[in-house]
């Protein structure tokens, strides 16, 4: 459990430590702050594209070797990011980092399911999440302090010693689970990668005003997605098992997660632009104001298991998701005169509901699945999670760019763009509310259903 927590810590530290340093990195590389979205989305998209291969790799080579290789590649990618001299090199290094990070979380989840079983999986995942959430506590403040008082390059280099610790723990503690060997679905992997890549490129091009190219990429991505859907239902061993969507709790968890993350994933990026550029906060102050969110997420982890067992997934998820939408709308009311303590209280409340949301969505996908399907379910849920995160960041950036309207040097413009963008994003969680109401009434933790037919 400590090893999986260390891997989660690496990922959460890396994702949160970068956010508060975006203006500093942009200034050092001589680009607009909004252009740094590509460095964020390239990492997350690489995770999404490569994650579906985690199930096959784990079954073929074993969890011990795959986990070790992912830590090595992730650490080397972090080192390359710290040495990057321009935006192109930073994006390429982030892709390398994503290649390693793609296997950390799904393999970790797979090991927890195999080691603890579905009944104790929620408790195990919540326990692992507490050390893993040290990343969001340390990350924003450390990222702001390093970029203000040292160099932004150190925000990537701090992953190196953590990676060394992870390798040492892997040799001592990681169980070596294997699964049945099967052929690798190369065609399915290519179709999935093409669809994901083209759709994100379409969002990036739309944000840059290249609408003709965006439409072309979007059409190509949709065609590739339909191609994979047709291929995935016929292939003997697909890279992503679409029959998992026959299980009601699984498709509701994935669908609700998609719309929730579309509305929330870009908040940290636009919030940093709002605080540092729009309100004139220092990087350290912007990082410090995000700490209450992470602390609230850690506190909620202690209560999640009891809340789900008492109220069930259906009630918890639709009520909590509605609260997320309301909180986003309240955040959209902030301006440059909003006191720091008000921002801190709002971020604490936001962290509380998001912690409950993430763990509930992530574990709901597994409660009706047999252990034999855990690897495929883990890779598919993680892929959808990171795809929705990359599109969420791209959507938030697209909205900010549209509302800025070329006023990239006007602090007041960033305040107005932030408020309008977050208000638009607040509508998406309410779509997820409808998805979660499709869950059976008072769904709570039960024994796993052995077949998708009886679970549907």
Residues 376 and 361 in one domain: yes
Pull the structure tokens for residue 22: 């975006």
Q: Give yes or no: residues 218 and 293 share one domain.
A: no
Residue 269: pLDDT over 70 = yes
Cβ-Cβ contacts under 8 Å for 275 (sequence gap 6 or more): 281, 285, 286, 289, 343
Judge if 198 and 296 occupy the same domain: no
Checking if the pLDDT of 375 tops 70, the result is no
Domain boundary among 238, 253, 283: 238
Whether the per-residue pLDDT at 450 is higher than 60: the answer is no
Q: Are residues 126 and 228 in the same domain?
A: no
What is the reported pLDDT for 133? 65
For 243-257, write each residue's pLDDT tens digit: 888 888 889 999 999
Q: Do residues 288 and 14 lie in contact, with contact meaning Cβ atoms separated by under 8 Å?
A: no
Query: Are 216 and 263 part of one and the same domain?
Result: no
Assign residue 448 the CATH number of its domain. 1.20.1250.20
Whether residues 173 and 230 fall in one domain: no
Domain boundary among 238, 261, 281: 238
Per-residue pLDDT reduced to its tens digit, 319-367: 999 999 999 999 999 999 999 999 999 999 999 999 899 888 888 888 8
Count of domains forming the chain: 2
Residue 102's pLDDT band (boundaries 50, 70, 90)?
Answer: confident
Instruction: Say yes or no: 297 and 407 in one domain.
Output: yes
Q: Whole domain around residue 217: which residue ranges?
A: 185-238
Same domain? 216 vs 310? no
Whether residues 129 and 221 fall in one domain: no
Least confident of 28-32, 52-56, 62-66: 52-56
- Percent of the chain scored above 70 by pLDDT? 93
303 in the same domain as 261:
yes
What is the pLDDT averaged over residues 288-300? Answer: 85
Average pLDDT along the chain? 83
Residues 349 and 412 in one domain: yes
Residue finishing a domain among 197, 217, 238: 238
For the segment 184-207, the average pLDDT, to the nearest whole number, is 84
Same domain, yes or no, for 214 and 152? no
């Amino acid at each position: 459990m400590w090893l999986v927590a260390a891997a989660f810590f690496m990922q959460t530290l890396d994702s949160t430590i970068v956010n508060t340093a975006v203006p500093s990195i942009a200034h050092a590389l001589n680009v607009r702050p909004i252009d740094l979205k590509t460095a964020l989305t390239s990492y997350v998209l690489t995770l999404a594209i490569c994650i579906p291969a985690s199930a096959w790799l784990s079954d073929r080579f074993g969890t011990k070797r795959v986990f070790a290789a992912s830590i090595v590649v992730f650490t080397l990618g972090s080192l390359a990011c710290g040495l990057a001299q321009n935006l192109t090199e930073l994006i390429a290094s982030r892709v390398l980092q994503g290649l390693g990070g793609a296997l950390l979380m799904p393999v970790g989840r797979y090991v927890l399911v195999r080691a603890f079983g579905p009944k104790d999986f929620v408790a195990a995942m919540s326990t692992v999440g507490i050390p893993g959430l040290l990343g969001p506590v340390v990350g924003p403040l450390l990222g702001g302090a390093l970029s203000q008082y040292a160099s932004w390059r150190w925000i990537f280099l701090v992953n190196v010693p953590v990676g060394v610790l992870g390798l040492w723990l892997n040799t001592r503690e990681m169980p070596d689970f294997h699964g049945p060997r099967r052929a690798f679905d190369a065609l399915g992997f290519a179709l999935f990668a093409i669809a994901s890549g083209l759709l994100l490129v379409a969002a990036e091009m739309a944000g840059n005003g290249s609408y003709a190219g965006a439409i072309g990429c979007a059409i190509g991505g949709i065609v590739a997605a339909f191609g994979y859907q047709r291929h995935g239902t016929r292939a003997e061993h697909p890279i992503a098992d679409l029959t998992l969507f026959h299980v009601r709790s699984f498709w509701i968890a994935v669908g609700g997660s998609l719309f929730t993350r579309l509305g929330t994933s870009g908040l940290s990026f636009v919030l940093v632009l709002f605080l540092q550029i729009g309100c004139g906060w220092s990087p350290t102050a912007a990082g410090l104001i995000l700490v209450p969110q992470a602390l609230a997420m850690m506190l909620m982890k202690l209560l999640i298991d009891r809340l789900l067992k008492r109220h069930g997934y259906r009630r918890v998820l639709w009520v909590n998701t509605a609260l997320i939408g309301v909180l986003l709308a309240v955040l959209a009311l902030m301006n440059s005169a909003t006191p720091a303590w008000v921002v801190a209280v709002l971020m604490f409340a936001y962290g509380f509901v998001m912690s409950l949301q993430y763990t509930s969505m992530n574990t709901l996908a597994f409660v009706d699945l047999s252990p034999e399907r855990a690897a495929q379910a883990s890779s598919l849920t993680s892929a959808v999670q990171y795809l929705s995160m990359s599109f969420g960041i791209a959507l938030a950036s697209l909205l900010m760019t549209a509302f800025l309207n070329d006023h990239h040097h006007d602090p007041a413009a960033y305040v107005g763009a932030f408020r309008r963008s977050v208000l638009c994003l607040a509508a998406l969680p309410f779509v997820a509310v409808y998805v979660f109401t499709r869950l059976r009434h008072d769904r709570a933790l039960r024994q796993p259903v052995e077949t998708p037919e009886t679970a549907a």
